[in-house]
A and B are shown apart, each in its own frame.
Chain A
Amino acid sequence: MAKADNRPFALRTYAPEKLREALRRMYLIRRFEEGAEDCYMRGLIHGTMHLSIGQEASAMASCMELTDADKITSTHRGHGHCIAKGANVGRMFAEFFGKETGYCHGRGGSMHIADVKTGNLGANGIVGGGLPIAVGAALSAKRLGKPDVTVCFFGDGANNEGAFHEALNMAAIWKLPVVFVCENNRYGMSTPASYATAVPNISDRAAAYAMPGITVDGNDFSAVAEAVHHAIRRARNGEGPSLVENLTYRWRGHSKSDRNRYRTKEEIEEWMARDPIARFQADLIAHGILDQAGADAIAAEAVAAVAAGVEFAKASPAPDISEVTRYVHAE
């Protein structure tokens, strides 16, 4: 009898190369967010931004099985989702810098990065705004006879929006191929999810819409990958939507205006000790998929990619101000 495979789900399911690429993208997300913060501090970026440092496993593990034909919808805290789905960090930085070479030609900024051609239907500045849109994308796939699925990212705050409930209900009655991935980072700006939500787990809401719901450790790459894997398989088999709740934490404040008055330093440090990148990397090393030198190389590569991305953005041309109304309508 063959020995039982005790490796975590992700490690026994995905090829080593794919796992290393996942780690690379997680590092890329972390360094991208730090790079964005640094550019902001140095006055190179204006506006605001919502950083996802600490939530990298949720973004990356949820995208493991997606092709360019599969869709995601994202949130105001969406940089990680973009990178996980394969976005180019140079074009992302260019968008932050408001440059013509950015994903949105400088019209969208941090909260609207999208790449429809590779299935990223966009971040969204409205909490809950992406949920019905994700259901619409799943409806398109079903009506047009395509095998594509849509992964719909949203935060704990969105689960109290009417759009969440309407979207889950419609996805369920029409059995649409969509996976609702709630990134519960414990706070809607400053308001705790435990205060704002009547049920203990956001995944409990799934029962109201007759779909499976599961809550997992969102900082455990393999736990997220396993939950989303089953949800995607269900969606592709025509069995309808699922709700996956990833319990995670943002290390940084809600946005640049946050002074962390609603949470303690101890709480932040406790969550930083559960670093999703360090945990995933340790797993990969422990199971021989990577050695320390290989991990260091991946980390260094992310630093270089981010530096190159910033340089690309700096060197890119700004939009022509005479084109302020361009792109309102089709040309």
Chain B
Amino acid sequence: MNAINPETALRTMSYAEAIREAMALAMEADPAVVLMGEDIGVYGGAFQVTLDLIERFGPDRVMDTPISELGGAGVAVGAALTGLKPIYEFQFSDFAMLAMEQIVNQAAKLRYMLGGEAAVPVVFRLPSGSGTGAAAQHSQSIEAWFGHVPGLKVLQPSTPEDAKGMLLAALADPDPVMIFEHKLLYKTRGHVPAGRYLTPIGKALVRRTGTDLTIVAGSIMVHRALEAAETLVAEGISAEVIDLRSIRPIDHATILASVRKTGRLMVVYEGVKAFGVGAEISALVAESDAFDYLDAPILRLGAADAPVPYNPDLERAAVPQVDTIAAGARRLFRREV
């Protein structure tokens, strides 16, 4: 009998709760898993993701670090090199810049520099993105920076289900993984399966099938692209929306197969447009046989060439929104109004 388990069917939770559930599951299963970060203990983290975990697992496993991102990330790297599985939370992804040395020079390269004789199974969690009125130093989307670094894996969950499955997959991975969580998604709710499951790293997911246009998006842009796709139905445009999920490694096959089918490509991302995820995906298509299937130029929609502004109207205007995504699609069909 294939009756749906009503408990499972109704199992919804927020993105933040899903991440917390993943951490708790991992900590129960493996005493080597420890959490580190600023104010992740009794405070529960700046976005409450680690709420109550210190009560369950104690301060030895839910470690408040000083405000020392370089040192904290480095301690996590050293601990990962020697038997622990640390999850280090940057309070904001912007603060990872203080720790670039340890992330890029150490974590990413140690296995290679040591000829495969070492592993750094560290997970970095990074609350990311704009839309909170926190201005230029607390609102960036810098995931593409890390896409340029061999040795790292870079993930961007868009749903609670993926947020949990990606964190568990990251912990199961023997190499450093960075997970960019979107601050505006923390309170969004969705179905989350119970127990342990892994969202495969490096696999994009077609969230909406379509025939006329491929929209590749990540994180919160997936939701905006899906909403834009609905508005385009009435105009006779059938958009396929691919949730990129993983920036490094990137899922070439899923993207190329979709472009071959639709003949049009738009890449939507929250990072600054120049030198971003859109450039990589555009080049990927341009260098492949899928280029021959294109019926229109490729379009990139990214953030404005400016720091993220404070004024809410400016902030909204600085990054792709549902209306700008829909307008972008119309341009590809020369239906600009």
Residues of A within 8 A of B (CB): 71, 73, 102-108, 112, 114-117, 121-122, 124-126, 129, 131-141, 143-144, 162-163, 165-167, 169-170, 173-174, 325-331
How far, in whole Å, are A134 and B105 apart by their CA atoms in the complex? 15
Residues in B with CB closer than 8 Å to A326 are 116
Q: Does B113 interact with chain A (Cβ within 8 Å)?
A: yes
Q: Does B73 interact with chain A (Cβ within 8 Å)?
A: yes
Contact B77 A136 (CB under 8 A): yes
From A105, which residue of chain B is reached at the shortest CB distance? Answer: B115
Q: Does B311 interact with chain A (Cβ within 8 Å)?
A: no
Q: Does B241 interact with chain A (Cβ within 8 Å)?
A: no
| Interface-side segment among B63-71, B211-219, B274-282 | B63-71
Contact B118 A143 (CB under 8 A): no
Residues of B within 8 A of A (CB): 32, 34, 60-61, 63, 65-66, 68, 70-84, 86, 101-102, 105-106, 110-119, 150-151, 173-175
Contact B71 A170 (CB under 8 A): yes
How far, in whole Å, are A166 and B77 apart by their CA atoms in the complex? 14
Contact B74 A114 (CB under 8 A): no
Top 8 A-B residue pairs of the complex, sorted by shortest distance between their CB atoms: A136-B78, A132-B74, A166-B71, A105-B115, A133-B78, A104-B115, A327-B116, A136-B79
Residues in A with CB closer than 8 Å to B117 are 103-105, 114-117
From A116, which residue of chain B is reached at the shortest CB distance? Answer: B118
From B76, which residue of chain A is reached at the shortest CB distance? Answer: A136
Contact A163 B115 (CB under 8 A): no
Residues in B with CB closer than 8 Å to A73 are 78
User: Pick the contact of A108 from B61, B105, B106, B115 — CB < 8 Å?
Assistant: B115
User: Pick the contact of B101 from A105, A122, A163 — CB < 8 Å?
Assistant: A163
How far, in whole Å, are A313 and B324 apart by their CA atoms in the complex? 61
Closest Cβ–Cβ distance, residue B211 to chain A (whole Å) = 36
Residues in B with CB closer than 8 Å to A325 are 150
Contact B118 A122 (CB under 8 A): yes
How far, in whole Å, are A115 and B32 apart by their CA atoms in the complex? 22
How far, in whole Å, are A315 and B63 apart by their CA atoms in the complex? 50
Contact A136 B118 (CB under 8 A): no
What are 15 of the A-B contact pairs (CB < 8 Å)?
A: A103-B115, A104-B113, A104-B115, A104-B117, A112-B113, A116-B117, A133-B81, A133-B102, A136-B78, A143-B34, A170-B66, A170-B75, A327-B112, A329-B174, A330-B119
Contact A116 B79 (CB under 8 A): no
Interface centre among B70, B75, B84, B86 (most CB of A within 10 A): B75
Contact B78 A107 (CB under 8 A): no
User: Pick the contact of B111 from A133, A139, A329 — CB < 8 Å?
Assistant: A329
Residues in A with CB closer than 8 Å to B86 are 136
Closest Cβ–Cβ distance, residue B148 to chain A (whole Å) = 13
Contact A137 B106 (CB under 8 A): no
Residues in B with CB closer than 8 Å to A170 are 65-66, 68, 71-72, 75
Residues in B with CB closer than 8 Å to A114 are 113-114, 117-118
Residues in B with CB closer than 8 Å to A108 are 113-115
How far, in whole Å, are A269 and B230 apart by their CA atoms in the complex? 80
Residues in B with CB closer than 8 Å to A174 are 63
User: Pick the contact of A136 from B70, B80, B111, B114 — CB < 8 Å?
Assistant: B80
Given contacts A132-B73, A163-B70, A140 and B78 within 8 Å (CB-CB):
yes
Closest Cβ–Cβ distance, residue A86 to chain B (whole Å) = 15
Contact B106 A129 (CB under 8 A): yes
Contact B84 A143 (CB under 8 A): yes
User: Pick the contact of A129 from B66, B79, B105, B175 — CB < 8 Å?
Assistant: B105
How far, in whole Å, are A126 and B99 apart by their CA atoms in the complex? 13
Contact B82 A136 (CB under 8 A): yes
How far, in whole Å, are A325 and B111 apart by their CA atoms in the complex? 11
Residues in A with CB closer than 8 Å to B81 are 116, 121, 133, 136-137
